[in-house]
Amino acid sequence: MTALTLSSSGAATLRADVLVVGVAKGPDGPVPAPGSEAVAEAFDGGLATVLETLGATGAEGETTKLPVSGLKAPLVLAVGLGTAPEDGEEYGTEALRRAAGNAARALNGTGKAGFALPLASAEAVAAVAEGALLGAYAFTAYKSDDAEAGKGAKKKGAGKGPLGEVALLGVKARDKAAKAAAERATALAEEMNRARDLVNTPPNDLYPESFAAVAAAAGKEHGVKVQVIDDKALLKGGFGGLIGVGQGAAHGPRLVKLAYNHPKAEKSLAYVGKGITYDSGGISLKPAGHNETMKCDMAGAAAVFAAVITAARLGLKVNVTGWLALAENMPSGTATRPGDVLRMYGGKTVEVLNTDAEGRLVLADAITKASEDEPDAIVDVATLTGAMVVALGNRTFGVMGNDDAFRTAVHELAEEAGEPAWPMPFPEELRKGLDSSVADMANVGGRMGGGMAAGVFLNEFVGEGITWAHLDIAGPAFNEAGPFGYTPKGATGSAIRTLVSLAEWTASGELG
Ligand code: BES
Ligand code: MN
Ligand code: ZN
């Protein structure tokens, strides 16, 4: 992955391939942002005019390359920061994160870039570091070298690989807060990018067993205890949801437990992730046009995996247990039929009326299992419903739960971390919609409020008295449109920053 360094040298003395400066949208044209002083000097104070001549406005998403002489770098990249903050105010962290991401994306194939952006605080350092490392991400594992080498590329693969090194300029070497911020950003971005790789990996290579193997190896590396419950053990243990969803596929289901424990932890969190490595819909088969991206249906499990490993790497003073509910949802002669009744882990029975509502079935087993440890809170993360995408769009996830204060806390932590989220209610009539004439419950109700009905279903499996939140990331988990800011096309790493922030918040004693 892209390397991150802190450099106390300024833009005038750094040897690099390119210098990144910020440019804001001023009332009368583009305004070079703080951090750009040395570069502006090389233009004899005419940087704003040159930028304006090149058509730059300072708008978010804009990148402008210009040659420079008199510095140790031959090229400048000016990246738009959007409207400049009021006098005396600092740039917002999300504006910095996005600008750094846009810059990193524009510099694919470059060796070393010095980032001379506004880095006035440790928060700003964290944001720029995160944005740059996340923006530099590229998924190239399935591109052969020849295909990677674009027209005119100097050597095989050139021009496509991620930016090699990001040096944040003007950060004092003795600044402990900045150093910690950079270390946190590096761990977080590395785990987010690994989660993106997992989600982008095609489902012929990523299935429950191979996902579990990746988790086991990472756990070993970072001191996280990993336990894999295989299909035989799931059947014996009565995990009817995981077995029922997975029984149509050639690859059997797995339930993976990742346990990170801190010796002085006072609180415990359980994170539960939906890990459908491919969702064909099962016998209730999805039509063409709806299944091409369904390798992304394990993004919740990837997020949980990344969050637990990040918590371990940061040594947070909290116990975090991750549960990955892994299965492949396929139609076959052995698949669950619409009309079948499953006996879930814990004994509740569910009539499966639609095999495409499979996520809630695997999550139900995992939430029941997670409840046995009596954690202080459970958070599940799932690409659960198309209805949530219809409600909130492609970039915002829904937050639901059984405790308004906790749901609000999770929502606020998400927004602070740069992840758009929105609270959704559990209207009381939705529970009745899930009544079944033969079993304790059906897995689907009416069409209306489908995203919330899925949450109401999960609520039935949360252990008595346990605080719980549910994140439906079906919209933001996978970006089918073009890249923007630090978000690439394809897997995004949705909810990971929220889960890590929640672990930090809990470690600092905020969870009641
Ligand atoms: N994995 C899908 C939800 C989904 C949709 C994720 C779009 C990402 C993008 C889920 O398993 C599903 O199929 N849900 C059904 C539920 C319905 C049958 C009640 C849906 O949303 O249509
Ligand atoms: Mn489905
Ligand atoms: Zn699904």
Q: Where in the chain is the domain with CATH 3.40.630.10?
A: 189-507
Q: Where in the chain is the domain with CATH 3.40.220.10?
A: 3-150+159-171
Query: How many residues in total does the chain contain?
Result: 512
In the reported structure, the alpha carbon of residue 228 is separated from the centroid of ligand 3 by a whole-number distance in angstroms of 22
Nearest to 446 by CA among 424, 426, 470, 430: 430
Please, what is the Cα angle at 494 between 316 and 478, to 5 degrees?
A: 155
Q: What is the mean pLDDT of the chain?
A: 96
As a three-state string, the secondary structure of 480-502 is CCCCECCECCEECCCCHHHHHHH
pLDDT, average across residues 56-67:
98
> Is 360 an active-site residue?
yes
Fold of the domain built from segment(s) 189-507: Aminopeptidase (3.40.630)
Which mutation among 384, 394, 447, 473 tests ligand 1's pocket best, with the greatest number of atoms within 8 A of CB? 384
Average pLDDT over every residue of 347-361: 99
Q: Which atom of ligand 1 is nearest to the CA of 453?
A: 19
At residue 144, does pLDDT exceed 70? Answer: yes
**pLDDT reported for residue 137:** 98
Mean pLDDT of 334-341: 98
Q: What share of the chain in percent tops pLDDT 90? A: 94
* pLDDT tier, 185 (very low <50, low <70, confident <90, very high otherwise): very high
Residue of 352, 380, 385, 390 to test ligand 1 pocket, by largest number of atoms within 8 Å of CB: 385
Ligand 1 pocket, Cβ-based, cut-off 6 angstroms: 279, 297, 354, 356-359, 383-387, 389, 444, 450, 474
Angle (deg, nearest 10), helices 359-371 and 450-459: 30
The fold of 3-150+159-171 is: Leucine Aminopeptidase, subunit E; domain 1 (3.40.220)
Digit-coded pLDDT (tens) for 128-137 = 999 999 999 9
Tokens 């990837």 appear where?
302
Residue-wise over 475-500: b if at least 16 C-beta within 10 A, else e? bbbbbeeebbbbbbebbbbbbbbbbb
Residue 314 has pLDDT above 50, yes or no: yes
How many whole angstroms from 372 Cα to the centroid of ligand 2?
27
Q: What is the pTM of this model?
A: 0.97
193 and 139 Cβ atoms separated by less than 8 Å: no
**Residue listed under structure tokens 């939430």:** 367
Structure tokens at 89: 């105010």
Catalytic residue among 160, 286, 348, 431: 286
The string of pLDDT tens digits covering residues 452-501 is 999 999 999 999 999 999 999 999 999 999 999 999 999 999 999 999 99
**Which position has the token pair 């029975």?**
349
The helix/strand/coil state of 438 is coil
Spot the catalytic one: 97, 257, 360, 369.
Answer: 360
What pLDDT shows up at residue 158?
42
The amino acid at residue 502 is: L
Q: Is 112 in the active site?
A: no
